[in-house]
Structure 1
Amino acid sequence: MPDTAAHPFDALTADAMRAGGSWKWSGQGVGDGVDRHGRPLIGAFVAEMDFPTAGPVVEAVRASAGASQFGYLADAWVADLAAACAAFWADRFGWSVDPERIRPVPDVMTALVATIEHFTPPGTPVLLPTPAYMPFLTVPGRLGREMVPVPMTAAPFALDLDALDAAFVSSGAKLLVLTNPHNPTGRVFTRDELRAVTAVVERHGARVFADEIHAPLVFDGRAHVPYASTSEAAAAHTVTATSASKAWNLPGLKCGQVILSNAADAARWSERGYLAEHSTATPGVLASTAAYAHGRAWLDDVLAYLDGNRALLRDAPLPGVGKEIPEGTYLAWLDASGLGLDEPPSAFFAREAGVVLTDGALCGGPGGMRLTLATARPVLAEALERMAAALS
């Protein structure tokens, strides 16, 4: 059982988080909106944590400010980040990566754009298992690429291999976007599941963009398995993207990492990757280096706290709503399709409960909602109590 004893995070209040001004607590009317009972809205729609980040990260940002380290990235800082990231992935996930094949980018979305543009044939479609992280549904189209949704199997969610195979054939796609741990369902795919994906991808001479931004956030003794680590074939057709932003709550510092698992991709990136790397923020690189190198104790504490929040959701009475307790990430998928509402369930809960969730339709899963669990436990408890009351 997770430890649910009092924790410093419990003292965080919704009022304080609204005052902080982040998009999660100011966007979509959360900053000054109320529900039909006059209660302030609770922000639960953005995939970020409400917790203050690790002490070593704070110290790194302060040191960078004190030294006015706001210039363009130095090679030495990039090398330090790559070494820290490689050491973390080797220790945590058992995957040894040459630090020279880890490159900085502002975020995972930048890495996806670069992968589509530089590692796939022009004009070819992109396959995306759905439900999915919302921008993945729209970014390929902005690049002139068709996005082909491939629905996952019904809960418990899994990749539909037959559907993926058929979609490769019918569309001519040459890239699969694979998110693991999965946003928004919280699935952590097993090694066997990933190897089965490799067989499908290889059969069609395609590539994989592996979004592993939530890799450090897994529960119940599970292990994150980097997709590219599962075989030589997977390593040869994969571009992996990750970041310290989810695990250490650093999204605004704009620093992610691309991991290139074969020599050909590393050479191509050295020729084409300059623009993708160029907007990476220097303070973000220094902060991410500190997170990987010195923030592990903080991360373990956060995982234990999040596990308590998972238990709170598991026990919450939400009649008529299916709950997917995440195996990884801090995102839970709620299926409200059985309620028979004549409006998106997220709209119902915003109005009736004052809880602002992500509309599942934006993820390619109408009737569902994405709930962010990474908030103070009393705030999450209030959100769930309000939702339960709205249903009753």
Structure 2
Amino acid sequence: MIRDLTDSEARRALPAKWGMADPDVIPAWVAEMDYALAPPISEALLDAVRAGRTGYPAFDGGGPLGEAYAAFADRQFGHQVDPDQVLPVVDVTAGVRVALDVLSSPGPMVMPVPAYHPQLRIAEITGRQRADLVLDPDAQHAGLDLDRLDRLFADGARTLLLTQPHNPWGRAFTRAELEGVRDVVVRHRARVISDEIHAPLVLPGAEQVPYLSIEGTADHAVALVAASKAFNIAGLKCAQIVTADPATRDRLLDIPYARNDSWSSLGVTASVAAYTHGDNWLAALITRLDQQRTLLAQLLAEHLPEARMRPLEATYLAWIDLRAYGYDDPAAALLDKGRVWVNPGHDYHPGLPGHIRLNIATSPARLTEIVTRMARTLPA
């Protein structure tokens, strides 16, 4: 069910990932997949365009989008969501900003680092300081330091921006880890904004635990979800804020329209189709990504044995430590000499040398060529 796009198809379909790359460059950077759209989404979009459904969306929560997401969350995660507690927003990062503006008290925002780089400045944008909860790049386990989190809240931080599954660590946090987060947050009467955009992309061997499914989180947390990463529809602009507390939902509904940038009618159409009819395609995608994960590990062992890859439990974004090869910025060398475009680690962890983020959501042949080019570029 997963059809690889040809190079020419990818350049037409993905104007950022492929269109911004020179013809001789293999792009493995931005979080988009080199796969054709799931047929139920394509069909729903074609029907919507034929019907002229290109006007403003309905400006309310719940409705068909809320019902579709609630059913999807039940099937995929065993999480019971009230459809009326699902509110549309233009994208996840904008939703994080809205939640911070409307729900969070003044005070620093805790950001686990490395972090999704567009969100590194979101505290600043909302008039807050950022308090970094840093992952030791040499630690064996990419876990959250709850003692450090406790100290940051004790020193005045008021909100934790939790990305789970994590980008770029590739972690799917366990229920016990999330219960530990909850206990620290409750102790300090703080708040959690849980970015769960990659939730459908947990790979075999791990489990997605929605933060709001943890007992005792409803009154201090919201989640940001979307079909965009799992179904490759980011350009259609439709994410969702999920609440579990009517008072929280009502505060978000009461904000002026100008604070919640308008989402897209076609984004709603595509999201409803993905959530309602996309399960089989998603299952095939997970199988493909699991195969790509295994292939990447084999390729690195063969061609770049000094590379250290974080265990990839979720997402299609591998976090790779290449410090052993002597480059502070291996991404620059790989683009310049190897003609492979990956993300530099310092975009996610300012000041961290020698790391890259590599997108594996492509064909096995392209992934093999990517690692082969990497090995030719980096010294033995």
TM-score class normalised by the smaller sequence: over 0.9
Aligned equivalents of 1:193, 1:336: Cα separation in 2: 28
Aligned mate of 1:43, from 27, 31, 36: 27
State, as a whole percentage, how many aligned pairs show the same letter: 40
Q: Which runs of 5+ in 2 are unaligned?
A: none
Residue 309 of structure 2: aligned partner: 323
Matched, 1:145 2:136: no
**Alpha-carbon separation, structure 2, partners of 1:226 and 1:372:** 24
How far apart, in 2, do the equivalents of 1:276 and 1:315 lie? 47
Q: What is aligned with 2:334?
A: 349
Given that residues 107 and 254 in structure 1 are in contact (C-alpha distance below 8 angstroms), is that contact kept between their aligned partners in structure 2? yes
Cα distance between partner residues in 2 of 1:101 and 1:276: 19
- The answer to whether 1:225 aligns with 2:209 is yes
Query: Could you say which residue in structure 2 is the equivalent of 1:74?
Result: 58
1:1-392 correspondence runs (5 A):
9-10=3-4, 12-27=5-20, 30-32=21-23, 40-74=24-58, 79-122=63-106, 124-153=107-136, 154-170=139-155, 172-232=156-216, 234-272=217-255, 274-316=257-299, 317=302, 318-341=304-327, 343-364=328-349, 366-367=352-353, 368-391=355-378, 392=380
Deviations 1:310-331 (A, max 9, x none): 0111101313221124100111
Deviations 1:225-264 (A, max 9, x none): 00111112x1211010000001111000000011011122
Structure 2 residue matching 1:284: 3-state secondary structure: helix
Q: Which runs of 5+ in 1 are unaligned?
A: 1-6, 33-39
More displaced, 373-382 or 273-282?
273-282
CA deviations 1:195-250 (Å, max 9, x no partner) are: 00111111211100000011111112422100111112x12110100000011110
Deviation at 1:164, TM superposition (A): 1.2
Q: 1:76 to 1:273 in 2, by over 3 A?
A: closer
Rounded to whole Å, the distance in 1 between the matches of 2:205 and 2:63 is 32
Return the alpha-carbon distance in structure 2 between the equivalents of residues 207 and 76 of structure 1.
24
Amino acid at match of 2:92: V
2: distance between equivalents of 1:301 and 1:273? 41
Structure 2 length-normalised TM: 0.93
Does structure 2 retain, via aligned residues, the 8 Å contact 1:77–1:286? no
Q: CA deviation at 1:270?
A: 1.7
Q: How many residues align?
A: 372
SS at match of 2:73: helix
> Structure 1 length as normaliser, TM-score?
0.90
Do the aligned partners of 1:127 and 1:167 also contact (CA within 8 Å) in 2? yes
Cα drift, residue 275 of structure 1: 3.6
